[in-house]
């Protein structure tokens, strides 16, 4: 493991990856394919979100509101500092957009429950998932997640040596009756503040420079991952950096820790 510097907005986004919980029985499978969703009777209350917004001295200056695609105006609204997101029960969840200059590729990820979109900011990027069930939950998965065959679980992997991504690692979540639960994974850890801040990356990502992706699930309990890029040569005598393509996996039986090779 090693320490490194990570942009401030990306550090803040790490808090949205969720907290680990003990797994429960997954809910019944739902249709994960995109489909038209009827407009709700309530509307997102952006005025309340603006009134409740808390500004901090280190915040960048507000800019223009992020643009919500017309097809989603009934479910999301924006100002120069907030997004108002509508739950299935008609309540509004407020989500800060300070520092963001663009969202794109907003789409339904699972029926009319999970809404997702990419976002960009200065030296930071991510993918937000809004769960409209229950009280409403907002998490960041770094990139668009890959769902298990039943749609009851999803996983993401995103890591760059510059630390611009919001996930900065690998994680698995479960869709429960009225919430999302992070089941496990390996992500960058941040301790301390200011000059005392220490950022530690998971060992599997250290000294690997390239692209990580999820190549698919095997059932509901194992995720296959792929890495293509550069890593130190296995030749102890050589200082060369080798270009490689590697296969990894993460299984529930191993607490979703990344290991070499494909799912068994």
Inside any domain, residue 34: no
**Calpha distance 9→11 (Å, rounded):** 5
Q: Model confidence over 187-199: pLDDT tens digits? A: 998 888 888 888 8
Inside any domain, residue 210: yes
The phi and psi torsions of 56 (rounded to 5 degrees) equal -115, 150
pLDDT computed for residue 38 by the predictor: 62
| Pair 200, 4: CB distance under 8 Å | no
- Give the pLDDT means over successive 10-residue stretches in the chain (264 positions): 43 48 36 50 94 88 87 96 96 95 95 96 93 97 97 96 88 97 94 87 92 97 96 61 88 98 97
Structural domains counted in the chain: 1
Picking from 65, 63, 62, 88, the residue whose alpha carbon sits closest to that of residue 75 is 88
pLDDT computed for residue 71 by the predictor: 95
Inside any domain, residue 38: no
Distance of CA 1 to the CA centre of its chain: 22
| Pair 209, 15: CB distance under 8 Å | no
| Pair 247, 262: CB distance under 8 Å | yes
Inside any domain, residue 63: no
Inside any domain, residue 145: yes
**Calpha distance 182→139 (Å, rounded):** 10
User: What average pLDDT is seen over the chain?
Assistant: 85
Inside any domain, residue 208: yes
pLDDT computed for residue 18 by the predictor: 46
Can you tell me whether residue 60 is helix, strand or coil?
A: coil
**Calpha distance 117→139 (Å, rounded):** 11
Inside any domain, residue 98: no
Inside any domain, residue 221: yes
Q: What residues make up the domain containing 202?
A: 8-20+105-260
* Enclosing H/E stretch for 12: helix 8-14
What token pair was written down for 152? 């009851």
Tallying the residues shown for the chain, one arrives at 264
pLDDT computed for residue 235 by the predictor: 58
């Amino acid at each position: 493991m090693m320490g490194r510097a990570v942009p401030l907005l990306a550090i803040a986004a790490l808090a949205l990856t969720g907290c680990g919980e003990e797994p429960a029985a997954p809910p019944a499978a739902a249709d994960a394919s995109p489909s038209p969703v009827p407009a709700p009777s309530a509307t997102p209350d952006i005025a309340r979100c603006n009134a409740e917004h808390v500004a901090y001295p280190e915040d960048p200056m507000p800019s223009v509101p992020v643009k919500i695609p017309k097809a989603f105006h009934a479910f999301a609204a924006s100002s120069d500092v907030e997004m108002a997101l509508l739950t299935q029960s008609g309540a509004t969840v407020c989500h800060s957009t300070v520092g963001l200059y663009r969202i794109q590729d907003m789409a339904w990820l699972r029926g009319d429950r999970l809404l997702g979109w990419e976002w960009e900011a200065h030296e930071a990027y991510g993918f937000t998932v809004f769960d409209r069930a229950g009280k409403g939950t907002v998490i960041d998965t770094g990139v668009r997640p890959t769902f298990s065959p039943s749609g009851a679980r999803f996983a993401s992997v995103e890591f760059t040596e510059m630390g611009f991504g919001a996930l900065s690692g690998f994680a698995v979540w479960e869709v429960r009756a009225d919430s999302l639960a992070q089941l496990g994974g390996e992500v960058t850890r941040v301790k301390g503040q200011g000059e005392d801040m220490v950022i530690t990356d998971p060992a599997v990502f250290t000294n690997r420079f390239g692209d990580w992706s999820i190549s698919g699930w095997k059932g509901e309990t194992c995720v296959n991952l792929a890495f293509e890029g550069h890593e130190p040569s296995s030749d102890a005598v050589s200082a060369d950096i080798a270009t490689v393509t590697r296969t990894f996996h993460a299984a529930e039986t191993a607490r979703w820790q990344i290991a070499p090779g494909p799912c068994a």
